[in-house]
C-alpha cells in the first residue's frame, strides 16, 4: 500500500509511547507516579459545567456558524480587548475544536511547499508536524538553559532566509515554562515583522504565570505587528477544559476567513455545547483561575528545589505554565540502577521501569539533554515522585 505524503511524513507522538507504557504498568497493579500530563489536575469549574448542561436543556444542540457562536466570538473580542489591549471584531476571530485546530488552520492558510517556518526549540511537539502537513519545512532555532530557552533578534537573524514565512512564539512555553519579558518579546517580534514574517503567538498558558511577570500579546506592539501576528488562545489550560475541545485564533480578516474555509470542510467548528461553556468561562467568576495558579506556584518552587538538590540535575525556575524542564545530560553515560544511561528516552524508560515514575523525554521537544516534568498533579504525588527519583539516582 502506498500511503500519502502526509501519512508518511508526520511522526507518531513519541511522548505517547511512554504514556502507553506507564498505563500498561499501572494496569498490572504497579503504583506509577505520573508527571506526563499536559493538563491541569483540577476539575472544570461548576459554573462552566452548569452552562453546558443548560445549553443541552435549552436545545442549543445544532450546528453553530463554522467560525463560532456569535455570543462567544463577542466575548472573545471583549477578552482580547481587556486582557491584551487588542481590538478585534468578530469577523477577525475563529473558534475551533481546541487551540490545536486553530493553529493547524493558520499554518495551512500561511504555509506552502518550499516555505520555511521557524520554530524555537525546545518546542511544543505539534508545531513541526503541522508545518510538515502543510508541505513546508520546519527550521529549528535551538536554545538551551544557558540562554534561559530564549531566542533573540540576533539568533533569529541567523536562520532567516528568503523562504522564511512564519515564526512560532509560545510564551509561557510548553515544555520549558519560559516567559519572555515585554522588552525581549518586542525586540524579537518587531524584528521578525520587519523581515516580513508572519507570527503565530500561542498564548494558551497566558494566565498561568508567576513571580509578577506580565503576559503581553505581540500583536499589540505596533500596527505592523497587528497585521502580521495571529494570536491563538484557548480554554483547555486556563479553565481546566482539555476534554471540551475549545480554542480560538484572532488576526487579520483575510487570514481568518481562509481559516474558516478550511474549518468548513474539516470539523465545521467546535461543539455548540462546549461553546456555551466557554462563554460562561469568559463571563463568569475568574476565582478558579487564581486558586489554580496559586497552587501551581507552590508546587513549582517545591519541585525545583528538590530537583536542584539532586546530583547531576539542574533546573531553572520557570515563570509560567505547569512544567519544569530540568537538564539531565550530566547523567548520560553514567551507570544508574545497573545500566548505562544513553539519552533522555533511555533515562525516562529506566525511571519508569525501576522507580515507577513517568516523566517525558526531552528529545521529542527537540532537546535530548532534558526531561519534561508536569507538576499538574497533587503535592503528595510530587513529594513521592521526587523521593523516588532521588533514590533512583543514588542507586
Question: Shortest gap between Cβ of 1 and ligand PLP (angstroms)?
Answer: 30
Among 234, 320, 361, 362, binds ligand PLP (CB under 6 A): 234
Report how far residue 156's alpha carbon sits from residue 10's, in angstroms, rounded to the nearest whole number.
Answer: 26
- Closest separation between CB of residue 171 and ligand PLP, Å? 10
Return left, alpha or beta for 379; rule: phi > 0 is left, psi -120 to 50 is alpha, else beta. alpha
Pick out residues in 184-223 that bind ligand PLP (CB under 6 A): 202, 204
Window contacting ligand PLP (CB under 6 A); options: 43-51, 95-103, 283-291, 349-357 = 95-103
The residue with cell 497533587 is: 378
Q: Which is nearer to ligand PLP, 202 or 295 (CB)?
A: 202
Phi, psi (5° rounding) for residue 357?
-120, 140
DSSP code of residue 230: E
The reply to whether 120 sits near ligand PLP by the rule CB under 6 A is no
Between 101 and 329, whose beta carbon lies closer to ligand PLP?
A: 101
Q: Which of 214, 218, 149, 212 is nearest to 188 (CA)?
A: 218
Among 36, 90, 98, 251, binds ligand PLP (CB under 6 A): 98
CB distance 79 to 73 below 8 Å: no
Tell me the pairing of strands 93-96 and 360-361: unpaired
Indicate which single residue of 68, 218, 247, 385 sits in contact with ligand PLP (rule: CB under 6 A).
247
> Which of 68, 234 has the CB closer to ligand PLP?
234
Query: Binding residues for ligand PLP, how many (CB under 6 A)?
Result: 13
Say which residue the cell 483575510 belongs to: 254
Residue number with CB closer to ligand PLP (126 or 329): 126
Interface segment toward ligand PLP; rule CB under 6 A; list 92-100, 181-189, 312-320, 324-332: 92-100
Site for ligand PLP in 26-65 (CB under 6 A): 38
Asked if 236 interacts with ligand PLP (CB under 6 A), we say yes
Question: To the nearest whole angstrom, how small is the minimum distance from the Cβ of residue 281 to ligand PLP?
Answer: 12
Task: In the chain, count H helices and then E strands.
Answer: 14, 14
Q: Which of 100, 215, 319, 372 binds ligand PLP (CB under 6 A)?
A: 100
Residue with the CB atom nearest ligand PLP in the bound state: 98
d(CA 93, CA 182): 24
3-state secondary structure of 207: coil
Work out the burial of residue 242: count CB atoms within 10 Å of its CB; fewer than 13 is exposed, 13-18 middle, 19 or more buried.
Answer: middle
| Element holding 96 (H helix, E strand) | strand 93-96
Q: Which is nearer to ligand PLP, 124 or 370 (CB)?
A: 124
**Which range, of 97-105, 222-230, 277-285, 365-373, touches ligand PLP by CB under 6 A?**
97-105
Q: CB of residue 330 vs ligand PLP: minimum separation in angstroms?
A: 27
- At its nearest, how many Å lie between ligand PLP and the CB of residue 232? 7
* Stretch of 234-242, 273-281, 303-311, 340-348 lying at the interface with ligand PLP (CB under 6 A): 234-242
Task: Report d(CA 257, CA 101) in Å as an integer.
Answer: 15
DSSP codes joined into one string, 334-384: -EETTEE--SHHHHHHHIIIII-EE-EESGGGT-TTBEEEE--S-HHHHHH
Output the smallest distance, CB 3 to ligand PLP, in A: 25
Q: Do residues 270 and 95 touch, judged by C-beta distance below 8 A?
A: yes
Tell me the closest approach of the beta carbon of residue 270 to ligand PLP, in angstroms.
10
Judged by CB under 6 A, which of 170, 171, 272, 377 binds ligand PLP? 170
- Please state the closest distance from residue 237 (CB atom) to ligand PLP, in A: 7
Closest CA to 141 of 209, 191, 182: 191
What is the distance, to the nearest Å, from the Cα of residue 271 to the centroid of all Cα atoms in its chain?
A: 22
Which residues lie near ligand PLP (CB under 6 A)?
Answer: 38, 98-100, 124, 170, 174, 202, 204, 234, 236, 242, 247
Amino acid at each position: 500500500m502506498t500511503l500519502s505524503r502526509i501519512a508518511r511524513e508526520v511522526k507518531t507522538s513519541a511522548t505517547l509511547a511512554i504514556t502507553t507504557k506507564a498505563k500498561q504498568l499501572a494496569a498490572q497493579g504497579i503504583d506509577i507516579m505520573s508527571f506526563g500530563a499536559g493538563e491541569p489536575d483540577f476539575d472544570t469549574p461548576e459554573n462552566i459545567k452548569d452552562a453546558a448542561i443548560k445549553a443541552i436543556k435549552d436545545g442549543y444542540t445544532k450546528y453553530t456558524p463554522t467560525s463560532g457562536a456569535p455570543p462567544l466570538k463577542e466575548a472573545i473580542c471583549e477578552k482580547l480587548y481587556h486582557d491584551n489591549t487588542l481590538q478585534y471584531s468578530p469577523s477577525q476571530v475563529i473558534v475551533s475544536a481546541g487551540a490545536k485546530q486553530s493553529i493547524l488552520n493558520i499554518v495551512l492558510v500561511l504555509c506552502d511547499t518550499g516555505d520555511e517556518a521557524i520554530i524555537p526549540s525546545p518546542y511544543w511537539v505539534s508545531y513541526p508536524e503541522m508545518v510538515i502537513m502543510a508541505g513546508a519545512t520546519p527550521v529549528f532555532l535551538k536554545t538551551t538553559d544557558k540562554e534561559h530557552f530564549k531566542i533573540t533578534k540576533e539568533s533569529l537573524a541567523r536562520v532567516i532566509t528568503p523562504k522564511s514565512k512564519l515564526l512560532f512564539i509560545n510564551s509561557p512555553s510548553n515544555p520549558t515554562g519560559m516567559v519572555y519579558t515585554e522588552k525581549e518579546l518586542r525586540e524579537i517580534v518587531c524584528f521578525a515583522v520587519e523581515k516580513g514574517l508572519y507570527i503565530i503567538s500561542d498564548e494558551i498558558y497566558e494566565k498561568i504565570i508567576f513571580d509578577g511577570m506580565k503576559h503581553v500579546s505581540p500583536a499589540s506592539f505596533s500596527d505592523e505587528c497587528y497585521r502580521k501576528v495571529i494570536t491563538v488562545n484557548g480554554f483547555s489550560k486556563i479553565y481546566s477544559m482539555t476534554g471540551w475541545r475549545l480554542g480560538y485564533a484572532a488576526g487579520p480578516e483575510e487570514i481568518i476567513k481562509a481559516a474558516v474555509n478550511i474549518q468548513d470542510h474539516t470539523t465545521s467548528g467546535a461543539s455548540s455545547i462546549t461553546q456555551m461553556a466557554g462563554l460562561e468561562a469568559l463571563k463568569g467568576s475568574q476565582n478558579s483561575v487564581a486558586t489554580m495558579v496559586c497552587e501551581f506556584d507552590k508546587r513549582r518552587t517545591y519541585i525545583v528545589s528538590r530537583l536542584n538538590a539532586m546530583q547531576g540535575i539542574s533546573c531553572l525556575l520557570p515563570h509560567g505554565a505547569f512544567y519544569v524542564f530540568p537538564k539531565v545530560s550530566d547523567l548520560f553515560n553514567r551507570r544508574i540502577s545497573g545500566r548505562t544511561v544513553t539519552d533522555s528516552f533511555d533515562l525516562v524508560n529506566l525511571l519508569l521501569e525501576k522507580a515507577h515514575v513517568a516523566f517525558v523525554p526531552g528529545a521529542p521537544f527537540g532537546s535530548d539533554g532534558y526531561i519534561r516534568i508536569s507538576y499538574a498533579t497533587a503535592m503528595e504525588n510530587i513529594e513521592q515522585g521526587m523521593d523516588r527519583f532521588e533514590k533512583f539516582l543514588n542507586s
